[in-house]
Chain A
Amino acid sequence: MIEQEHLIDLQHISKDYDGVTVLDDINLYIRKKEFVTLLGPSGCGKTTTLRIIAGFETPSSGKLLFEGKDILDIPPYKRRVNTVFQKYALFPHLNVFDNIAFGLKLKKMPKDEIKRRVQSMLELVNLTGYEKRHVDALSGGQQQRIAIARSLVNEPEVLLLDEPLGALDLKLRKEMQLELKSMQQRLGITFLYVTHDQEEALTMSDTIVVMRDGHILQIGDPKHIYDEPANAFVADFIGESNIFRGTMVRDELVAFAGREFPCVDFGFGENVPVDVVVRPEDITVVGEDVGQLVGTIRSVLFKGVHYEMIIDCGEYTFKVHSTTMQPQGSRVGLSIVPFNIHIMRPMDTPKREAADDAV
């Protein structure tokens, strides 16, 4: 029964470009009305995945099901999905009205119906009265909203968004994030969103798919991904992290950074190498005499809401976020509660090096 609510199913999708594997056995389903984000660094295959669903790319192998039917042979113009392109791709020879009406005119919809729909779309994106404007005369944010309106007016089953906010400044981006999310909820359309911005992903998504090197590393809701990263790469990519190589001494005891810490994880076995992740905000700065570790503050940066302190404890370095500041050079103690120590199995050996580079 669960199968029925899958709108899109990617089954064993792989893609090679001239012998280079871009996507390797991707399996993913997207439910109706879900906001799914493909998140990963550039070159991870997220845009390729989106383009396969849009029909601009053909996978080397695998199946793409839309409501249970394979649509790989259906050309893009017959698929019930619409795309919002990274650089908007508005038609420069048409004005705002004709850009939005483009898809409807192709469907030979009656003129007044087109007019009505374009009007209500412009209302939705807060650009009423812009019909006759030339698209080049609009700001980035306005062009963005026209691009979204141009796609949404066709009432697609799925809206594909390829880093649509990448070209906007920070403030506008945050506003648009909220707008997009509320639009998606109001209209009840499935969104598949591609971004490399983890904050964007956390803010908007129902489900985040973390990708790297053509693989899916983890699928889950934002909170789950943040709190329970599947491996060190995800932990590092989502938010900031202190990542160490450690050893699971036994259940609920892990050794890293030169000493043993009590933790809550178990079932790894005894004396097994593991990755240890501690979020900077989960480390408490305490007095020198009561800390589990003792270190010297190398640098202090003011980040707005909090201070970021880099603390050297012997050969190990910790990044700590705190709302209170300790002066540079002072000796402090660090304390981590067992619940905040995340233990994960090391990633496959060949990818290990890349993960270290990322850290």
Chain B
Amino acid sequence: MRYNVSLPWWAYAVMGLGLAVFIGLVGLSIRRNHGIKRSLFSAPYTMWMILFTILPCILIAYYAFTDTAGNFTLDNFRTFWDSNSEMKKLVGEEYAASIPRGTVNVDTLVYSLWMAFLCTVISLLLGYPAALFMADRQMKLGASIVVLFVIPMWMNFLLRTIAWMSLLEDNGLINMMLNAMGFKSVRLMYNSGAVLLGMVYNYLPFMVFPIYTSLSKQNPSLHEAAADLGCSPMQTLTKVTMPLSLPGVISGITMVFMPSVTTFFIPRVLGGGNTMMFGDLIESKFLTEGNWNGGSALSLIMMLLILISLSILRKADPNGEGSGIV
């Protein structure tokens, strides 16, 4: 199965034209706008969106609904439900009986959603108190905690994850310390727990910062008013501080859940291949199998799921006070 990666000549023509219009409009918007409609100024961004967001989406949809020859087909989705049929093709019909029925792809999707859910919940449980400390004006530590959360982000995402390896592996730092104290080595890596740890570690800042922002924007006299009207410090937290930080919580959840579902690489490094997630699956479809049509179908399913979860979140925050990404 060879794929023709190069695009037809007209695709390059469209892109070239788009680029020309883009550059032209940027030039125009720099000049004083005599006789030019204001709405035209947004054209470069519209063009950008079309070129780099909408066009790729259309391409993914196109690939998802076609076979290698470019004919319309739903096979890509069928194999999603029954991924073993693919394997059947590989091993031949005579061995088909020996392949367990089941849908590896669907299992992976469910596993990814479950891991993303756990990651989001843990990030929220860890992140909210952290954000509270950071936003507390009386806590002098607040600023230094902010720095603690920012510093790891100066490092590359892959590097950070690999760094965890050297901590967790069988001869890693933690086990070395355990040995030194006379304990036996513990297997810390190559399981879902390690993957979850890696995910929470990487995505926690995305939970903390939106919550921190919405907490630090709160008018401190609201907290005093609550106390004045009879709220104990705990009641002030649950009745005033928390409800008012809801927009921050929602955008935090969004910002953690979305990348969590599509996580790849982390499972491969920390999970050791036993814990494939949906992101890895898509990646391997494209890059290992070279199956663009199958990979596109999986991506489309993923996009659909994200859209659904976003619209649920939007319901929880009808005012749209969360960040602009919802």
| Complex: chain B residue closest to A154, CB-CB | B229
Nearest CB in chain A to that of B225: its residue: A89
> Chain B 218-230 against A: per-residue CB contact (8 Å), 1 yes, 0 no?
0101101111111
Answer yes or no: B244 CB below 8 A from chain A CBs: yes
- Chain A residues near B226: list those with CB within 8 A: 91, 102
In chain B, what residue has the closest Cβ to A156? B228
The reply to whether B227 and A91 form a contact with Cβ atoms under 8 Å apart is no
A106–B225 contact, CB under 8 A? no
Number of chain A residues close to chain B: CB under 8 A: 25
Do residues B240 and A91 form an inter-chain contact, with CB atoms below 8 A? yes
Once the chains are docked, how many angstroms separate the CA of A102 from the CA of B230?
A: 9
Contact A76 B243 (CB under 8 A): no
What is the CA–CA distance of A77 and B229 in the complex, to the nearest angstrom? 6
* B33 interface residue per 8 A CB criterion: no
CA distance A91 to B229 in the complex (A): 12
Q: Chain B contacts of A78 at CB under 8 A?
A: 230
> In the assembled complex, which residues on chain A have CB atoms less than 8 Å from the CB atom of B230?
77-78, 103, 106-107, 154
A56 interfacial by beta-carbon distance below 8 Å: yes
Interface residues of B in 191-235 (CB under 8 A from A): 219, 221-222, 224-232, 235
Residue ID in chain A nearest B236 by CB atoms: A77
In angstroms, Cα B98 to Cα A309, docked, is 109
A269 at the B interface (CB under 8 A): no
- A139-180: which have CB < 8 Å to B? 150-151, 154
Closest to A107 in B: B230
* A56 to B236 alpha-carbon distance, docked (Å): 14
Check A93–B227 contact: CB distance below 8 A: no
A86 to B221 Cα, complex, angstroms: 9
Interface centre among A81, A102, A151, by most B CB within 10 Å?
A102
A268, CB-defined interface residue at 8 Å: no
Report A73-115 residues with CB < 8 Å from chain B CB.
Answer: 75-78, 81-83, 85-87, 89-93, 102-103, 106-107
On whether the beta carbons of B229 and A85 are closer than 8 Å, the reply is: no
CB distance from B162 to the nearest CB of A (A): 44
Cβ of B228 and Cβ of A93 under 8 Å apart?
no
> Distance (Å) between the CB of A154 and the closest chain B CB?
7
CB pair A54–B231 under 8 Å, yes or no, is no
Contact of A76 among B222, B228, B239, B246 (CB under 8 A): B228
Across-interface contacts of A83 in B (CB, < 8 A): 224-225, 228
The distance in angstroms between the C-alpha atoms of A91 and B224, with both chains bound, is 11
A106 touches B231 (CB 8 A): yes
A56 to B138, CA, bound (A): 13
B228 and A91 within 8 A (CB): no
- A63 vs B244: C-alpha distance when bound (angstroms): 36
B243 touches A93 (CB 8 A): yes
Q: Mark A51-68, 1 if CB is under 8 A from B, else 0.
A: 000111000000000000
**A76 to B230 CA separation, bound complex (whole angstroms):** 8
* A81, chain B: closest CB distance, angstroms: 8
**Cβ contacts under 8 Å, A92 to chain B:** 222, 244
- In the bound assembly, the distance between CA atoms of A330 and B227 in angstroms comes to 62
Contact B227 A85 (CB under 8 A): no
What 9 A-B pairs have minimum CB-CB distances, sorted nearest first?
A: A103-B229, A89-B225, A89-B221, A106-B230, A76-B227, A83-B228, A93-B243, A77-B227, A77-B230
Show the binding face of A for B, using Cβ within 8 Å. 54-56, 75-78, 81-83, 85-87, 89-93, 102-103, 106-107, 150-151, 154
Interface residues of B (CB under 8 A from A): 219, 221-222, 224-232, 235, 239-240, 243-244, 246
What are 9 A-B contacts with C-beta separation under 8 Å?
A: A54-B224, A55-B227, A75-B227, A77-B231, A81-B228, A83-B224, A89-B219, A89-B221, A103-B229
